[in-house]
A and B are shown apart, each in its own frame.
Chain A
Amino acid sequence: MTPNMFFLLVSILFSIGLVGIISRRNLFVIYMSIELMLSSVNLLLATLSKLLGDANGSVMALLLIAVIAAEAALFLAMITHLYRQSRTLDSDHYKKLSKVK
């Protein structure tokens, strides 16, 4: 396993996440795509930390995991609340902040 393989994996994961955000309208899928992108960044940090023999990257990854956990709790709560209000998970349906009706 060369570091290049890890970079490639990181790129693929990130791209899948990005395309997911763009192409899907289900809020859960979007959320999972974001998670995927964050995970890919975590993996990158860990890889670089290992490669350079520096602990900073690993520390940052650890912190990120904590943040992601908190965010997951918040995000899921919000999605549940939104679903209760309008009985749908379609992101295009949520345009209360938009001028366009």
Chain B
Amino acid sequence: MLNLIVITPFISALILTIIYLLNTKKENTFIYTLIGIASPVFITLLSLFTLFELINGVPTIHSTLFEWLHIGELNISIAFMADRLSVIMISFITFIGTLIHIYAAGYMRGDEGYGKFFAYFNLFMGSMLLLVLADNPIMMFIGWELVGLSSYLLIGFYHQESSNVTAANKAFILNRVGDFGFIIGISLLFISLEGSGFTFDTIKANIQLIDNERLSLIGFLLFVGAMGKSAQIPLYVWLPDAMAGPTPVSALIHAATMVTAGVYMVSRYSFIYSEIPDIGLFIAYIGAFSALFAAILASYQSDIKKILAYSTMSQLGYMFIAVGLGAYSSGIFHVFTHAFFKALLFMGAGAVIIALHHEQNIFKMGGLKKDLRVIYITMFIATLAISGIPPFAGFFSKDAILVMAFASENYLLWVMGSLTAALTAFYMFRLLFSVFHAKSEHKHELQNVSSSMTLPLVVLAFGSTTVGFLGLNEAYGGSSLFNNFLVLPDIELHITHEVEYMLGALNVLLAFCGMLLAYKMFATNAKETLPDNRVRKLIINKFYIDEIYTFIFVRPLLLLSSFIAQTLDPKIFDGAINLSVSGYHKAAYLFEQLQNGKVRYYALYVLVGISAMSLYMIYKLGVKL
């Protein structure tokens, strides 16, 4: 069954590709929609079935497809494993992925590359499922790379415009930087285990073979991979540019696939990270800085999708705080709840963009409350969820992380997290008020938004409201159902309920402050923030990080390349080759002179030869002249 879950999207992607390539007139929208949506629906059912199996007490499901490599100690099978962690992941990946597929059928209607889009989309889901269900690190790496490939294809989907292709390249290349660390980490892990098996189970069993320093290095290198995929400082700059792709792609990347892969990977290797708390703390700080940094950037953006992109980066920061501190379940729980409201936000944004004929600047929208009622209500719910207002899902997962940061006595992390929470409420409500409440300067002629786009919004809004209760902890009268089900090696910290209530209340208070500020500034009359002083200028230009990267990495590389192309290659390398060529020319000329076809010369050679031989013999025989 696991085999089927992974293979189905790949097969449907293949079929879609074949149909798309054969069908030169690019018609047959119905067939594309049918195949493109049937396969995620099918695997969603299978995933939910697997989930129920695990809930009913089956510990883990293994399934081997075939043996792929067997060279010496390297023994890699194409095998899948569903434990409690991966089964949770696949459940929401397939479920939310399906909703996004349905939404995409409406969003992409009439697009020239409709069939191609669904082929890529199915490929993306298949890659993510491969990553999650992998039984060994090699398989996981294959999925990891395929996710990168699919995102590249989808971000550059509108490839007629060169800026989109640049954005796709940027995402791909920055991910390669991370993957470089990731693959070195895996290799080091393999070498360190000295051939005692290379599946997650055997690695877990033999982890004590590796000394602590080596393990720290491995943990760090693996996290470098996660930095790239999950857009953390310093490898985050691709994320806002990735908004070049169609909106359903953004929703899929940000909610169910790709960016969550980093968090999942750290949780998957939790048995390593729980041995090396120093690296964990480093991860947590990277997460906290990313969260705060992205939240500050998001507060000054005016492109609706870029605000959401930065907010994803910020939320991912929270997840890394959690997994870094050793609260893997809380991290995964936030991944889970975040998937619902982030998918909803992106899809809502996409619907608004479609309705306004591809307008993305929030300050040119305004006053859409009445006309787009369903979208407004669902997006309002998602905004409440991401801002951490109870009882919406985001509150419980975010609160668990902040309580964790407080309880582990990393107060700096906690302060940064809380600040981020306030900022999150501010910039999310800034978006909401500007788009739906503020007075509009010009009248909009709205395009009709199809029901296949609004229906998933409603489902997700329901999810955003309710899924938080799955992870309700003791303090709020639950039994941490979600965390207990996951059985990850979480660290145990005890904190009194009073402190927990206080922290929760503080977060809600901070969120309300942010919300009120946003209401005051943007609810009636939204004006674009201008770069009118030095600090604002710095933030609106995203701290010039892109420019700094260009200066540090891109410019020197370009200079080096042009030096090689213009000086080193023609003068030095070609020069050396030309030198030897002219040597051959000269040698050939010499022999040509000798071999001239004149008998006299040949007689001379004979004479010289005989003379030399005679002299030699005279010398050898010791004749004294």
Contacts and interface: CB of A to CB of B under 8 A. Distances in A.
Contacts of A91: 598, 600
A69 interface: no
B596 A22 contact: no
B598 to A, nearest CB: 6
Interface string A74-98: 0000000000000000011001001
A100 B601 CA distance: 15
A22 B597 contact: no
A21 interface: yes
Nearest to B603: A22
B597 A21 contact: no
B607 A22 contact: yes
B597 A98 contact: yes
A95 B597 contact: yes
Contacts of B596: 100
Contacts of A22: 600, 603-604, 607
Interface in A4-52: 18, 21-23, 25
State the main secondary structure of chain B at its contact with A.
Answer: helix
Contacts of A99: 597
Contacts of A98: 597
Contacts of A100: 596-597
Contacts of A95: 597-598
B530 to A, nearest CB: 86
Interface string B272-311: 0000000000000000000000000000000000000000
Contact of B598 (A18, A23, A92): A92
A101 B25 CA distance: 67
Interface in B590-616: 596-598, 600, 603-604, 607
Contacts of A92: 598
A40 to B, nearest CB: 15
B603 A21 contact: yes
Nearest to A24: B600
B604 to A, nearest CB: 5
Interface string B407-430: 000000000000000000000000
Nearest to A97: B597
A25 B604 CA distance: 13
A25 B600 CA distance: 8
Interface in B479-521: none
B351 to A, nearest CB: 86
B617 to A, nearest CB: 16
A91 B603 CA distance: 14
B597 A18 contact: no
A51 B598 CA distance: 40
Nearest to A95: B597
Nearest to A100: B597
Contacts of B600: 21-23, 25, 91
A90 B604 CA distance: 18
Contacts of B607: 18, 22
B615 to A, nearest CB: 14
A4 to B, nearest CB: 14
A101 to B, nearest CB: 10
Contacts of B597: 95, 98-100
Nearest to A25: B600
Contacts of A25: 600
A23 B600 CA distance: 7
A65 B596 CA distance: 35
A90 to B, nearest CB: 11
A99 B595 CA distance: 12
Nearest to B599: A91
Contacts of B603: 18, 21-22
A98 B401 CA distance: 97
A100 to B, nearest CB: 5
Nearest to A18: B607
A20 to B, nearest CB: 10
Nearest to A23: B600
9 contacts: A18-B607, A21-B603, A22-B600, A22-B603, A22-B607, A92-B598, A95-B597, A98-B597, A99-B597
Given A25-B600, A91-B598, 17 more contacts: A18-B603, A18-B607, A21-B600, A21-B603, A22-B600, A22-B603, A22-B604, A22-B607, A23-B600, A91-B600, A92-B598, A95-B597, A95-B598, A98-B597, A99-B597, A100-B596, A100-B597
Interface of B: 596-598, 600, 603-604, 607
Interface of A: 18, 21-23, 25, 91-92, 95, 98-100
The 7 closest A-B pairs by CB, nearest first: A98-B597, A22-B604, A100-B597, A22-B603, A22-B600, A21-B603, A18-B607
